[in-house]
Amino acid sequence: MPKVPNIRVEPPGPEAKKIVAKDDEYIVKATKTAPLVFKKAEGSVIEDVDGNTYLDFYAGVGVLNVGARHPRVVAAVSDQLGKYMHIAGTDFYEPLQARLAERLAKTAPGNNKKMVFFSNTGAESVEAAIKIAKRGTGKQCFLDFLGAFHGRTTGAMTLTASKWVQREGYTATLMPGVFHVPYAYCYRCIYKMEYPSCGTYCAKVIEEVYFETQIPPNDLAAICMEVVQGEGGYVVPPKTFVKMVFDLTRKYKCLFIDDEVQSGMGRTGKMWAAEHFDIAPDIICSAKSLGGGLPLGATIVDAKLNFDRYGRHSNTFGGVSLAHAAALATLDVIEDEKLLDRGTKVGKETKKRLEEMMEKYDIIGDTRGLGMMLAQEFVQDRKTRKHAAKSRDKIADMAFKKGLMLLPCGKSVIRYIPPLNIPQDQLDSGLEILEDCIKTVNRNRAD
Ligand SMILES: Cc1ncc(COP(=O)(O)O)c(C=O)c1O
């Protein structure tokens, strides 16, 4: 096995630069992170067009929980290619999507029967949740949380409140009836309190202040939450926060929509992160890793929320058959390779390593996460907790040049989300490179 990572020419190399230039010329600006130009990817290893190899600590932006091109996923997709690629699953029938729906329905927490609406992306799975919640409750308003990210289509973007850049220029034409309140971001408590002496004030205040003044609770179709915030900074709230918010939804007879597009499919050591908090959401939104690398979204809903008639909501690519085949194989891999157990065990060990780094380098303000959904927040000063965004970017850029692919989130956070089956030696090499970069930037800061 050749050494990984192996940087032969400083990236972006000459071939990469050509593609980056063409991309800049013809592709509309979206969300570029680094000038990495893929040639091939396998497992947790990426090869670029200049022959460099990298370790993947970002899992294709949370898509590759079972690694790139897992042989069983590739075999399932190849087999399906020989049969049919697409049937318009919302209009017609095929065995794969029925089997996948049954399996997903049975993974969701709670004894109530679930049903599934298939789509292609996270945002679409959230849009479906919005429409299902409105019709299911006959109500139109939603409560969500500061720092939330649900996607960039209008409904999902309205529920989103993670960065102003996503909303600027659209604010006045977003979906009406959406309210945001602070999330339990304990490291940066907006109320300047400390858990647990705060008594989970951020949950209490929803009923005691917001419901009393601005948000009529009886108008709420749903409270929507990422039970672990992703894009907003990998924020893990206390269990009491999630439980108390969930209880509000029972009290005021609205739904709990749990966006697990990023935290689901085993990332936290459980199939769904909601299982850590002992709640059974009415709706779970899934995408990213669900398709094992192919686009697939699923909105898993309490069967009572099924539409009253055909035509209320539908799509053309309600999960292409190739993606259904890939998703079934992905679920098999998670089960057969015991990736929930591995994620829990390796996640714990990795978190310990990250905590040891935090003891040595005071640029690290916080280390947090569940399972293999891990992150560190970088600060200019541990007392003021001022964000060290530039230093964070410098660490990510330095890691890229050494062959470790990282993905920032929040204002000054880096998430560490390698595939759940990353080989131990690759994980160790990645962590060594990471520590090296943090050590250098800790001494030579950018902000
Ligand atoms: C929690 C969450 N929900 C929804 C989305 C949107 O998914 P997509 O980019 O597939 O539309 C994302 C994407 O990062 C996400 O993290």
pLDDT in tens, 295-313: 999 999 999 999 999 999 9
Tokens 């959230």 belong to 126
Q: How far apart are CA 186 and CA 384, in angstroms?
A: 15
pLDDT (tens digit per residue) in 114-160: 999 999 999 999 999 999 999 999 999 999 999 999 999 999 999 99
> Average pLDDT for residues 153-173, to the nearest whole number?
95
How many Å lie between the centroid of ligand 1 and the Cα of residue 230?
A: 9
Residue 38 has pLDDT above 80, yes or no: yes
Strands (E) located in 287-435: 297-302, 364-370, 373-378, 404-405, 407-409, 413-416
Using CA positions, which residue lies closest to atom 13 of ligand 1? 151
For 346, the token pair is 């390796």
* pLDDT for residue 1: 61
For 158, the token pair is 């309205």
How many Å lie between the centroid of ligand 1 and the Cα of residue 290?
A: 12
| Residue 423 CB-half CA count within 13 A | 11
- What percent of the chain stands above pLDDT 70? 100
| Residue 8 CB-half CA count within 13 A | 12
Tokens 């990353």 belong to 422
The phi and psi torsions of 286 (rounded to 5 degrees) equal -135, 155
pLDDT (tens digit per residue) in 43-79: 999 999 999 999 999 999 999 999 999 999 999 999 9
- Beta-carbon contacts of 171 under 8 Å, excluding residues fewer than 6 positions away, are none
Residue limits of CATH 3.40.640.10 in the chain: 74-336
Residue 295 CA: which ligand 1 atom is closest? 10
> Average pLDDT for residues 192-209, to the nearest whole number?
98
Residue 226 CA: which ligand 1 atom is closest? 1
The CATH number fitting domain 74-336, selected from 3.40.190.10, 3.40.50.150, 2.60.260.20, 3.40.640.10: 3.40.640.10
Strands (E) located in 107-195: 114-119, 141-145, 178-181
Ligand 1 pocket, residues with Cβ under 6 angstroms: 121-123, 126, 149-151, 226, 230-231, 259, 261-262, 287
Residue 276 has pLDDT above 90, yes or no: yes
Strands (E) located in 379-422: 404-405, 407-409, 413-416
| Average per-residue pLDDT for the chain | 97
How many Å lie between the centroid of ligand 1 and the Cα of residue 284?
A: 13
- Beta-carbon contacts of 371 under 8 Å, excluding residues fewer than 6 positions away, are 266, 267, 268, 269, 270, 343, 344, 347
Using CA positions, which residue lies closest to atom 7 of ligand 1? 122
Using CA positions, which residue lies closest to atom 8 of ligand 1? 122
For 163, the token pair is 């960065």
* pLDDT for residue 2: 75
Q: How far apart are CA 419 and CA 434, in angstroms?
A: 16
Ligand 1 pocket mutation pick from 118, 145, 166, 262 by most atoms within 8 angstroms of CB: 262
How many Å lie between the centroid of ligand 1 and the Cα of residue 261?
A: 6
> Average pLDDT for residues 97-112, to the nearest whole number?
97
For 266, the token pair is 């085993």
pLDDT (tens digit per residue) in 391-414: 999 999 999 999 999 999 999 999
How many Å lie between the centroid of ligand 1 and the Cα of residue 255?
A: 20
Q: How far is CA 215 from CA 34, 177, 178, 200, 376, in A?
A: 41, 9, 9, 20, 34
How many Å lie between the centroid of ligand 1 and the Cα of residue 149?
A: 7
Q: How far apart are CA 281 and CA 286, in angstroms?
A: 13
Q: Is the separation of the CB atoms in 368 and 354 below 8 Å? A: no
Residue 124 CA: which ligand 1 atom is closest? 11
Residue 229 CA: which ligand 1 atom is closest? 1
How many Å lie between the centroid of ligand 1 and the Cα of residue 156?
A: 9
Q: How far apart are CA 128 and CA 113, in angstroms?
A: 18
Q: How far apart are CA 126 and CA 150, in angstroms?
A: 7
Closest CA to 363 of 407, 405, 413, 428: 413
User: What torsion, rounded to 10 degrees, do the Cα atoms 355, 241, 281, 268 define?
Assistant: 0
Q: How far is CA 80 from CA 85, 167, 196, 355, in A?
A: 7, 40, 52, 44
Amino acid at 60: G
- What percent of the chain stands above pLDDT 90? 99
How many Å lie between the centroid of ligand 1 and the Cα of residue 286?
A: 9
Q: How far apart are CA 436 and CA 425, in angstroms?
A: 17
Q: How far is CA 241 from CA 204, 227, 314, 403, in A?
A: 9, 10, 34, 39
